[in-house]
């Protein structure tokens, strides 16, 4: 129990008032509303100290792991606050500890841009790769072989759902899932229900910064997961397959009151963006996060050698099965933040961090049959249908055999006893055949010569067997529909895997263009559809007749054209026709597109079958827009705004520090719309650095390298010179 000397006088009065209320010494006694006898002014004096006291106990419980009062005493304080807010609603604030019960149900999850890219991590299971990583970083930092260091942050790699929390003036304003790394789903109301997420930053030890964006992991402990599944089974509901699925589903609920009933936790591990504060080391940032009330992972350590990293990893391998949370490895990060800026990042991962993963868990079972699965790109994948076996807490009945060459190399046959693992503890795969001396094996398995779905003769492409009937094979069409409707493509809500299968199998969709001719009446006849859901899907499809060119291009499934390349192609060529007719040389003018990729893209568009299918679906579109700039029309603007500008085109820009007239994401979008490449680190290839308020190591690095530096005023003037109407 916390001593009276540790409380403020106001909090002591509030706490004493609660404890002395009738019946409150007995936690099981019915609550007597203590706010009934308070005037508004009395309640106003008490309410904020009481909130501070509850936040203090939240910090002690979730961050320090040292609760100072019993759960019953905490509940008493909480009920006191809730009663005062109910008696005087004008005292209620969004950051009050009582505001974790969930808001009104939503109809969608908005797409929100991150304050900074949330990159993936390069990963390995091999100690030799870790050694190469350490050596590469040392060389990049100029550390001499005979010298120690650098210092590494070592932390567990949590197997949850990555998320960004944004605090403005110390108050939680938004929470965004990782999504594609640049944008994610806004799940603020759901995250507000998680008890370990502070709604207001703690400021007892240090003031909150004006802006703080934190990356962390939302997860569910194994004990909480087991208790949840037990409750679901008692209710007659289907239990979850694993904690990560349960967490992901809870975060994406449209009704946050459902999220509030799930036992979610949050741990912070990185600062994405911060204003008004500068750290030299990552460990300083982690300590600051903890002081602000954000829980960080247990067993955080620092090391200065490869041996330290290997020993840390070995410790978690040893303890892995005794932990109350899922991890799939450990993370190794450079502690020196200036060094991180020096090393920079690829478009996929930072060069200063590495995930050192565990060997997957393995079990033995028998292959009952080998089946062929045809994916949306036409690749025929052999799949082992297994006698069900539990691997790392998940029942596995199917496992990939990858491709023709891998199948032959492992010599896997029907009826074989095999060792199965979950790659990355997620995707099941067959590792090897377990010898059985007394058992006669089946004949070697041979891949089919024709597509089992459409009967088209297959083609061999390296180790892969592929059906070339891209737009005519029903199995590929199912996958293409899902891809075409996915969040990074046309983002058609309600068109998932099961619906796509129904549409193809029922003959309602024979190519992508048919989507736009679906009528609600026909959809309502499908299993699982009602009048409302059929109308919603038909409306969602119709609404996507106007979409961004980059989304449409990504949705077509052009080989090698992912989200980033689709965006770059759209910004460079600005029309679908220009992309379709571009030569290989013209394509290679786009950053990131080389000879191999340009050949694949031109071959795809020149295929007569593909051309006819693209013509049909493109004819259904009302408009394919290109992300522009303020004051610009969807197609590019007659005034030239959004066209490549010599100050930007082909040049690499970096934004650092706080901007006043624009957010950093707006500045980035405007620069890219004018042809610039915007990166997050300063290097020898950087052309311009825009330095705002509080710019630190990136500005120093730019000056050291002789990179052009301008302030926000000069940047805005350049935008206006390029035809951007910032007042529009």
| Active-site residue list | 157
As given in the structure block, the two tokens for residue 506 are 């029922």
Q: Give yes or no for a contact between 53 and 77, defined as CB atoms under 8 angstroms apart.
A: yes
**Inter-residue contact 124 to 330 (CB < 8 Å):** no
Of all helices (H) and strands (E), which one includes residue 399? strand 394-400
395, two tokens: 């029942």
Q: To which residue do tokens 């005794």 refer?
A: 322
Mapped onto helix, strand or coil, the DSSP state of residue 161 is: strand
Q: Which positions ≥6 away from 223 have C-beta within 8 Å?
A: 324
Beta strands in 484-583 (DSSP E): 546-548
As a whole number of angstroms, the distance between CA 686 and CA 393 comes to: 48
SS3 658: strand
Q: In what order do the strands lie in the sheet with 265-275?
A: 171-177, 161-168, 211-219, 265-275
Distance of CA 100 to the CA centre of its chain: 23
Q: DSSP string of 519-535?
A: -HHHHHTSTT--HHHHH
**Alpha carbon distances (Å) from 262 to 56, 106, 499:** 23, 18, 28
Element (H or E) spanning 439, and its range? none
Q: Which among 580, 573, 585 has a CA at the least distance from the CA of 604?
A: 580
User: Cα separation of 92 and 689, whole Å?
Assistant: 44
CA-CA distance, 343 to 728, in Å (whole number)? 39
Question: Coil, strand, or helix at residue 433?
Answer: strand
Q: How far apart are CA 171 and CA 177, in angstroms?
A: 18
186 secondary structure, DSSP code: B
Counted residue by residue, the chain has a size of: 728
Which residues have CB under 8 Å from 160's CB, separation 6+?
217, 218, 219, 220, 243, 244, 247, 267, 326
384-403 in b/e burial notation, b at 16+ Cβ within 10 A?
Answer: bebeebebbeeebeebbbbb
Is residue 193 within 8 A of residue 101, CB to CB? The reply is: yes
Report how far residue 663's alpha carbon sits from residue 9's, in angstroms, rounded to the nearest whole number: 42
State the alpha helices, DSSP H only, in 375-505.
404-410, 474-484, 497-505
SS (H, E, C) 309-374: HHHHHHHHHHHHHHCCCCEEEEEEEECEHHHHHHHCECCCCECCEEEEECCCCEEEEEEEEEEEEE
Q: Give the tokens for residue 306.
A: 């490869």
Beta strands in 44-130, from DSSP E residues, in sequence order: 111-113, 123-124
On whether the CB atoms of residues 425 and 241 are closer than 8 A, the answer is no
Contact (Cβ atoms closer than 8 angstroms) between residue 514 and residue 545: no
* CB burial of residue 668 (10 Å; 0-12, 13-18, 19+): buried
Q: For residue 679, give the H/E element and its range.
A: strand 677-679
| Cis check: omega of the bond before 150, within 30 degrees of 0 | yes
Largest CA distance in the chain: 87
């Amino acid at each position: 129990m916390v001593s009276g000397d540790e409380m403020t006088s106001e909090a002591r009065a509030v706490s004493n008032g609660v404890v002395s209320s009738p019946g409150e010494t007995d936690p099981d006694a019915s609550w007597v509303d203590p706010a009934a006898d308070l005037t508004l002014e009395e309640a106003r004096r008490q309410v904020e100290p009481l909130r501070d006291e509850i936040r203090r106990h939240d910090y002690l419980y979730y961050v320090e792991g040292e609760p100072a009062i019993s759960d019953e005493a905490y509940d008493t304080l909480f009920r006191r606050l809730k009663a005062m807010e109910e008696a005087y609603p004008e005292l209620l604030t969004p950051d009050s500890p009582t505001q974790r019960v969930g808001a009104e149900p939503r109809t969608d999850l908005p797409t929100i841009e991150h304050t900074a890219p949330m990159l993936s991590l390069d990963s390995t299971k091999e100690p030799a790769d870790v050694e190469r990583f350490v050596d590469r970083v040392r060389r990049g930092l100029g550390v001499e072989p005979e010298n120690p260091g650098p210092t590494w942050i070592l932390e567990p790699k949590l197997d949850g759902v990555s998320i960004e929390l944004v605090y403005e003036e110390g108050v939680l304003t938004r929470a965004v899932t990782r999504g594609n790394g640049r944008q994610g789903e806004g799940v603020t109301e759901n995250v507000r229900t998680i008890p370990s997420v502070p709604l207001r930053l703690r400021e007892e030890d240090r003031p909150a910064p004006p802006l703080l964006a934190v990356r962390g992991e939302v997860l569910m402990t194994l004990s909480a997961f087991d208790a949840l599944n037990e409750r679901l089974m008692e209710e007659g509901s289907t239990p979850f397959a694993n904690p990560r699925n349960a967490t992901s589903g809870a975060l994406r609920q449209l009704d946050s009151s459902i999220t509030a009933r799930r036992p979610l936790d949050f741990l912070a591990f990185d600062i994405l963006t911060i204003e008004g504060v500068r750290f030299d080391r990552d460990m300083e940032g982690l300590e600051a996060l903890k002081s602000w009330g954000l829980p960080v992972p247990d067993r955080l350590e620092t090391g200065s050698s490869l041996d330290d990293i290997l020993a840390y990893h070995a410790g978690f391998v040893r303890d892995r099965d005794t932990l109350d949370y899922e991890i799939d490895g450990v993370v190794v990060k450079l502690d020196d933040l200036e060094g991180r800026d020096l090393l920079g990042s690829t478009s996929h991962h930072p060069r200063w961090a590495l995930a050192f993963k565990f060997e997957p868990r393995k079990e033995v079972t028998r292959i009952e049959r080998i089946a062929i699965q045809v994916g949306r790109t036409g690749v025929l994948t052999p799949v082992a249908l297994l006698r069900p076996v539990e691997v790392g807490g998940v029942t596995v009945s199917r496992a990939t055999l990858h491709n023709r060459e891998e199948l032959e190399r492992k010599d896997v046959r029907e009826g074989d006893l095999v060792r199965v693992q979950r790659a990355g503890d997620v995707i099941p795969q067959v590792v090897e055949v377990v010898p059985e001396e007394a058992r006669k094996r089946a004949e070697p398995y041979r891949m089919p010569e024709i597509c089992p779905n459409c009967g088209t003769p297959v083609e061999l492409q390296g180790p892969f067997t592929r059906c070339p009937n891209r737009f005519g094979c029903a199995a590929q069409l199912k996958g293409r529909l899902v891809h075409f409707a996915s969040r990074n493509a046309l983002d058609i809500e309600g068109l998932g895997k099961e619906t796509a299968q129904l549409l193809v199998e029922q003959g309602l969709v024979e190519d992508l263009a048919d989507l736009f001719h679906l009528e609600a009446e026909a959809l309502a006849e499908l299993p699982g559809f009602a009048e409302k859901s059929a109308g919603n899907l038909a409306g969602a499809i119709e609404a996507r007749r106007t979409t961004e060119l980059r989304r449409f291009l990504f949705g077509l499934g052009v080989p090698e054209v992912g989200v980033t390349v689709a965006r770059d192609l759209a910004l460079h060529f600005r029309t679908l026709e220009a992309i379709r007719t571009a030569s290989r040389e013209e394509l290679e003018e786009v950053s990131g597109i080389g000879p191999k990729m340009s050949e694949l893209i031109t071959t795809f568009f020149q295929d007569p079958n593909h051309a006819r299918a693209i013509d049909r679906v493109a004819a259904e579109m009302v408009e394919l827009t290109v992300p522009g700039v303020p004051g610009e029309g969807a197609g590019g603007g007659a005034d030239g705004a959004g066209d490549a500008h010599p100050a930007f085109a082909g040049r690499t820009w970096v934004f650092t520090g706080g901007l006043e007239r624009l957010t950093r994401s707006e500045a980035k979008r405007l620069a890219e719309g004018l042809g610039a490449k915007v990166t997050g680190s300063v290097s020898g290839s950087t052309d311009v650095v825009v330095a705002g308020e509080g710019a630190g190591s990136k500005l120093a690095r730019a000056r050291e390298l002789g990179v052009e530096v301008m302030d926000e005023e000069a940047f805005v003037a350049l935008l206006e010179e390029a035809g951007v109407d910032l007042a529009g």
